[in-house]
Amino acid sequence: MPIISLIAAMSENRAIGLNNALPWEPIPADWDNLKKVTEGKKMIMGRKSYDNPHRIWSEVGNYVITRQHDYEVESGFEVVSSLEEAIEKCADQTEVFVLGGEEIFRLAIPLADKLYLTLVHETFTGDTFFPTFDESEFDVIERKEFKAGENTPYAISILTYRRKSLN
């Protein structure tokens, strides 16, 4: 069974999206971190995340969760009907990343071994939000702080959480 990792960026008010896009301008430091930690790993996303024209994807494989049986995806993506099915298809992997959106994160948090969360220290209007979770079940094992102007237009914190039961 792979390590199940979630990766997301959220604002102070937990916004992760607005009109199927990020609610803030691009944050190079966050993208650099995302590319580094997900390199060579398969990714799982919901249909709405897949539909985003700026979607994140992996060269080694991607799963799109949807209830639409006839939903067509591009080469390099495979449709699955549930998070559990996607995880089963990744059984031979050491780690797999769940990319969202909100509903998929809600389903994945109870299964997550690690969370890679970028906290954007601003408040943004959003229509999708990162779910609350019991932070006492996790340890912060890495924290990187960036001030506005340090490869980011906003002050951000990049946090890596590991579930305490893995310690």
Per-residue pLDDT tens for 102-147? 999 999 999 999 999 999 999 999 999 999 999 999 999 999 999 9
Whole-number percent of the chain with pLDDT over 70:
99
Q: Is 117 helix (H, G, I), strand (E, B) or coil?
A: strand
Question: What domains lie within the chain, and their CATH numbers?
Answer: 3-166 (3.40.430.10)
* Average confidence (pLDDT) over 33-49: 97
Q: For all residues of the chain together, what is the average pLDDT?
A: 96
Q: Is the pLDDT at 166 greater than 80, yes or no?
A: no
Q: Are 137 and 12 in contact (CB under 8 A)?
A: no
Model-level pTM greater than 0.85? yes
Distance (Å) of CA 58 to CA 1, 12, 123: 19, 28, 29
pLDDT band of 53, cuts 50, 70, 90: confident
Q: Is the pLDDT at 167 greater than 70, yes or no?
A: no
- Position 108 scores a pLDDT of 98
Q: Are 13 and 123 in contact (CB under 8 A)?
A: yes
* Average confidence (pLDDT) over 76-88: 97
| Contacting residues for 42 by C-beta, under 8 A, at least 6 apart | 58, 60, 61, 62, 63, 90, 93, 96, 97
